[in-house]
Amino acid sequence: MGAGRLITWSPSVTLVPSRGCFNHCGYCSFRVPLDQARPLELSQALELLQRRPEAREVLLLSGEVAPASPERPEWLRRLLALSRLALAQGRLPHTNAGPLALAEMAALARLNPSMGLMLEGLGPAYGPLHRQAPSKRLGVRLGQLEQAGRLGLPFTTGLLLGVGESQADRRRGLECLAALQRRWGHLQEVILQPWRPDGEQGRPLDAQERRDLLATIALARRLLPPEVHLQMPPNLWPLAALPEALEAGIDDLGGIDSADVINPAYPQPSPQQLAALLEPQGWRLRPRLCVHRRWWPWLPPALQRRVQRLAHQLEGACASAADHAC
């Protein structure tokens, strides 16, 4: 029984500035080669935002351009323009676009109340998968998480789980994140993301995979400071069994859009489905913004005012909605 524990989620819409990516991760079904990428135009982005009026978070999820590429300045300009568009539409951008130079991250941080970058994972299983992905080197990822901490930027990170890593590898990854949090305090969420095959090979987690992940969730809850939310994408866990992940320590379901652009074979449950499952079992499901309340004081004043206004709207929408998931 959930004993009234609060489970949060973020009404979200995902925009993909570009699927073009200079990395070539062994598990990726998202990327296209840079020379075949079609960047998202602002007019297309506006249309997508207008189709999801209830989404407060705009997740900008982009393929990466190499740090020294002549295409990088234009790629960054697009991320900044899309962030401004999100704000102009009364939403909050949350950018996850790979490693950023200090000046790039600082420029985006003026517009994004929170940003994200997965640590991905540690251990030999990731070696072959990241052989052609220079930005996935552990030192690069840890350096980015440090940089975000130095900038005081509320941050989302996480581990990709189930590519062949051991429980000891998972523990080391979680210990790295715990140490970062003790140093900087900026990690608002850690996503425990099960790797899933996509397309026709898509299949739900089996019982053994779930048991392993439950042990990892419980370990994460023990190792990470209590203010760090543990997130599980609800479409990657069998819906009827979701309460067992919550019992183990998950307390956030992340951004929920109408579809998952990374794992399109796994449909998103609707907030109403989640509420119908969880609330009779004693869980309280509530929408949130992309930045959790504890980190609002970290934001520049202009972003703080926006966040407070949007939170007020979200609470008003909940109060007048028939179901608590809004």
Angle at 159 between CA 277 and CA 136, to 5 degrees: 145
Helix (H) or strand (E) holding 194: strand 187-194
State residue 256 phi and psi, 5-degree precision: -115, 115
Of residues 57 and 64, the one with the C-beta less far from ligand SF4: 64
> Rounded to the nearest whole angstrom, what is the least distance from the CB of residue 130 to ligand SF4 in the complex?
8
CB 235 within 8 A of CB 208: no
Residue 110 to residue 299: CA distance in whole angstroms: 9
User: Distance between alpha carbon 83 and the CA centroid of its chain, in Å?
Assistant: 16
- Is residue 72 within the footprint of ligand SF4 (CB under 6 A)? no
Of residues 23 and 304, the one with the C-beta less far from ligand SF4: 23
Residues binding ligand SF4: number (CB under 6 A): 11
Residue with tokens 């609800």: 234
- Is residue 21 within the footprint of ligand SF4 (CB under 6 A)? yes
For residue 122, CA distances in Å to 19, 25, 249, 272 come to 25, 15, 22, 36
- Is residue 23 within the footprint of ligand SF4 (CB under 6 A)? yes
Stretch in the footprint of ligand SF4 (CB under 6 A) among 27-35, 37-45, 104-112, 121-129: 27-35
Q: Which member of 13, 15, 16, 25 binds ligand SF4 (CB under 6 A)?
A: 25
Q: Which member of 9, 17, 58, 63 binds ligand SF4 (CB under 6 A)?
A: 63
Of residues 30 and 296, the one with the C-beta less far from ligand SF4: 30
- Is residue 30 within the footprint of ligand SF4 (CB under 6 A)? yes
Q: Which member of 37, 85, 133, 177 binds ligand SF4 (CB under 6 A)?
A: 133
- Residue 165 CB partners (closer than 8 Å, separation 6+): 121, 122, 123, 125, 126
Of residues 110 and 131, the one with the C-beta less far from ligand SF4: 131
Dihedral sign computed on CA atoms, order 184, 174, 219, 263: positive
CB 81 within 8 A of CB 117: no
> Rounded to the nearest whole angstrom, what is the least distance from the CB of residue 96 to ligand SF4 in the complex?
9
- Within the chain, residue ranges assigned H as helices are 42-51, 72-88, 102-109, 126-129, 138-151, 167-184, 207-223, 242-248, 271-278, 301-320
Q: Which member of 28, 48, 81, 218 binds ligand SF4 (CB under 6 A)?
A: 28
Stretch in the footprint of ligand SF4 (CB under 6 A) among 17-25, 37-45, 141-149, 313-321: 17-25
Q: Which member of 16, 57, 59, 64 binds ligand SF4 (CB under 6 A)?
A: 64
> Rounded to the nearest whole angstrom, what is the least distance from the CB of residue 304 to ligand SF4 in the complex?
31
Of residues 133 and 190, the one with the C-beta less far from ligand SF4: 133
- Is residue 31 within the footprint of ligand SF4 (CB under 6 A)? yes
Backbone φ/ψ region at 4: left (φ over 0), alpha (ψ -120 to 50), beta: left
> Rounded to the nearest whole angstrom, what is the least distance from the CB of residue 1 to ligand SF4 in the complex?
38
Tell me the per-residue interface mask from 274 to 313 with ligand SF4, x by CB under 6 A, - otherwise. ----------------------------------------
Residue 253 to residue 230: CA distance in whole angstroms: 8
- Is residue 34 within the footprint of ligand SF4 (CB under 6 A)? no
The residue ranges that bind ligand SF4 (CB under 6 A) are 21, 23-25, 28, 30-31, 63-64, 98, 133
